[in-house]
């Protein structure tokens, strides 16, 4: 049986003395049985990031030992670096990985924060899902380039807004620590062909969400090893893929006559992060996750494990298992009512994403009711793979509903800027490009759902043939609806070349979707004996 697993990614204000980081890591290992996965240090930022995993109790114990060791070895009164910081152990996020909820991680953050404040005398601020105040959820509101250790030292005892959640209202040489719980994020930096850090600052301003850029992107400009760097946290790489981020940086960099020279990861990133980037840059429109060798092996091994403890078979005359479940709160009535309410969002883009999610769900369902049937034993592995791929698409398309709403609201926010604001025009163009990127992504995902519908229509349980056909029709509606949103937004772009690319890409997706729809309908009619 697998154990519950929590990830922790502490940031320490030390990037120039490897012996200090080694001592901190030794303290972690000595305190509990955790696995150290990665350690990354940067001398310019004067910062190190450690990634480790373990059971909830082990991670909590190891992190307390690390904070205590860091407090003994790092003096914030002597610390200078590019990256903003409040303390020796600057930020401690807990991330639920397996059989652990976000609430569990919040409880870990709270217990650790109280212990650090009481036993070590270090002020602790809770952030993200553990935040006790709405204005402390965002890390940048607690610590940024304009408010760091030096500013907090003056404000903590006199400003009620800067009072810690735990520990004394005064700073020692260890400074303060920010502890919280959050979903996974990717720390990703891009280097430019210039040493002019002001260009990195301007690009970061255009890219980050707080200034009207890409949602789920936090960014700042730094000078690192003599090169301008756009440093970012991608807080939801699924809903704002890294390829979209990089392409926007390239466009912004071109305005200043510079290019992207290289990029780097800080710490670790999920495999899906790289797969999504490869799919976009290689233009693998027909790619499915099941084509990755390691994925196929894992699913084959999982299928063998399932056969050992096989569930009771579904009767051959059943088209699908009948389950009695309560509908999720707010679905579908609330969403449909919101669409009909006469407000700008949710609109056609969000509805297209929902149609795509339903297409993927139907393909997943047909695959599920095919598995376990003797008649379809020859395609069982394929159906397992289709079901897994469809489940991933379903979640991504549901996420895209919120992303589409946020993208349109970003356009509205840009237009609300004062007309004499010199940044207004660029903000509108950036927001509009993002509003085209989102439905283009939806169209690509929906096309993948269509391809899954094509597979289950050709090889799945014929008793669910109408469901496969409906999956294809919903997928086509999603692609065409999303493509129309792409074209509408592209028409408002000043960059004619970029607009043409959007129109071309959307057109190719629609043509492919229509062809698949026709194939699926013809296949279903033949297999279902409709003449």
Residue 266: strand, helix, or coil:
strand
CA distance 10 to 24: 11
3-state secondary structure of 431: helix
Strand ranges across the sheet with 217-224: 217-224, 227-234, 186-192, 260-266
Residue 379 to residue 262: CA distance in whole angstroms = 44
Cβ of 283: how many Cβ atoms within 10 Å? 10
Structure tokens, 226: 């003599």
DSSP string covering 204-250, please? HHHHSGGGTS-TTEEEEEEEETTEEEEEEEES-TTTS-HHHHHHHHH
Q: Exposure of 138 by Cβ count < 10 A (0-12 exposed, 13-18 middle, 19+ buried)?
A: middle
Q: Is 190 exposed, middle or buried (0-12, 13-18, 19+ CB in 10 A)?
A: buried
Q: What are phi and psi of 138, to 5 degrees?
A: -80, 125
Q: How far apart are CA 509 and CA 485, in angstroms?
A: 13
Cβ proximity of 196 and 166 under 8 Å: no
DSSP line for 114-177: HHIIIII---EEEEETT-SSGGGSSHHHHSBTTBSHHHHHHHTTT-GGG--SBS-SS--TTB-E
Q: Catalytic: which of 79, 83, 384, 459?
A: 83
Burial of 315: CB neighbours in 10 Å, binned 0-12, 13-18, 19+: exposed
Query: Is 83 a known active-site residue?
Result: yes
Tokens of 15: 């990037």
Q: 74: which 2 tokens?
A: 């790092």
The Cα–Cα gap between 51 and 36 comes to 6
Helices and strands: H and E segment counts in the chain: 15, 11
DSSP, res 8: E
Q: Where are the beta strands (DSSP E) in 14-88?
A: 35-42, 47-54
**Distance between CA atoms of residues 413 and 172, nearest Å:** 42
Catalytic residues, which ones? 83
């Amino acid at each position: 049986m697998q154990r519950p697993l929590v990830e922790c990614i502490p940031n320490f204000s030390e990037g120039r003395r490897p012996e200090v980081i080694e001592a901190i890591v030794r303290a972690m290992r000595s305190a509990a049985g955790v696995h150290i996965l990665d350690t990354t240090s940067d001398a310019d930022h004067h910062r190190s990031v450690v990634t480790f995993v373990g059971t909830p109790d082990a991670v909590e114990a190891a992190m307390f030992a690390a904070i205590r060791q860091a407090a003994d070895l790092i003096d914030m009164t002597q610390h200078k670096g590019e990256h903003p910081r409040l303390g020796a152990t600057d930020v401690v996020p807990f991330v639920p990985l397996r059989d652990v909820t976000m609430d569990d991680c919040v409880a870990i953050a709270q217990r650790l924060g109280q212990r650090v404040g009481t036993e070590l005398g270090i002020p602790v601020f809770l952030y993200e899902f553990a935040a006790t105040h709405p204005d402390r959820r965002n890390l940048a509101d607690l610590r940024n380039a304009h408010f760091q250790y030096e500013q907090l030292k003056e404000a903590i005892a006199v400003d009620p807004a800067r009072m810690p959640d735990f520990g004394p209202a005064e700073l020692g040489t260890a400074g303060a620590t920010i502890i919280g719980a959050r979903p996974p994020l990717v720390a990703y930096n891009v280097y430019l062909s210039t040493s002019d850090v002001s260009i990195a600052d301007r690009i970061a301003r255009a890219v980050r969400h707080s200034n009207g850029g890409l949602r789920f992107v936090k960014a700042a400009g730094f000078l690192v090893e003599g090169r301008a760097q756009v440093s970012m946290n991608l807080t939801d790489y699924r809903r704002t893929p890294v390829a979209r981020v990089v392409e926007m940086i390239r466009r912004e960099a071109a305005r200043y006559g510079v290019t992207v020279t290289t990029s780097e990861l800080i710490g670790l990133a999920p495999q899906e992060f790289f797969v999504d980037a490869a799919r976009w840059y290689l233009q693998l429109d027909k790619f499915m996750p099941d084509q990755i060798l390691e994925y196929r092996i894992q699913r084959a091994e999982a299928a063998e494990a399932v056969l050992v403890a096989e569930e009771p078979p579904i009767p051959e005359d059943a088209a699908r298992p009948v389950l009695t479940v309560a509908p999720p709160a707010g679905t579908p009535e609330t969403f449909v009512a919101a669409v009909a309410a006469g407000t700008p969002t949710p609109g056609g883009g969000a509805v297209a994403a929902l149609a795509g999610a339903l297409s993927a769900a139907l393909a997943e369902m047909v695959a599920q009711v095919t598995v376990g049937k003797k008649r379809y034993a020859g395609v069982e592995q394929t159906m397992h793979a289709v079901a897994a791929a469809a489940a991933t698409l379903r979640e991504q398309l549901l996420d895209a509903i919120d992303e589409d709403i946020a993208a349109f609201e970003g356009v509205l926010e840009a237009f609300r800027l004062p007309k004499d604001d010199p940044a207004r025009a660029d903000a509108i163009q950036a927001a509009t490009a993002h509003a085209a990127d989102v439905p283009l992504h939806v169209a690509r995902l929906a096309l993948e759902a269509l391809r899954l519908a094509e597979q289950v229509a050709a090889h799945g349980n014929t008793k669910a043939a109408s469901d496969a056909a409906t999956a294809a029709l919903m997928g086509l509606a999603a692609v065409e609806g999303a493509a129309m949103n792409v074209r509408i937004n592209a028409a408002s772009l000043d960059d004619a070349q970029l607009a043409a690319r959007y129109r071309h890409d959307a057109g190719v997706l629609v043509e492919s979707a229509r062809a698949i729809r026709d194939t699926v309908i013809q296949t279903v009619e033949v297999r279902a004996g409709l003449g």
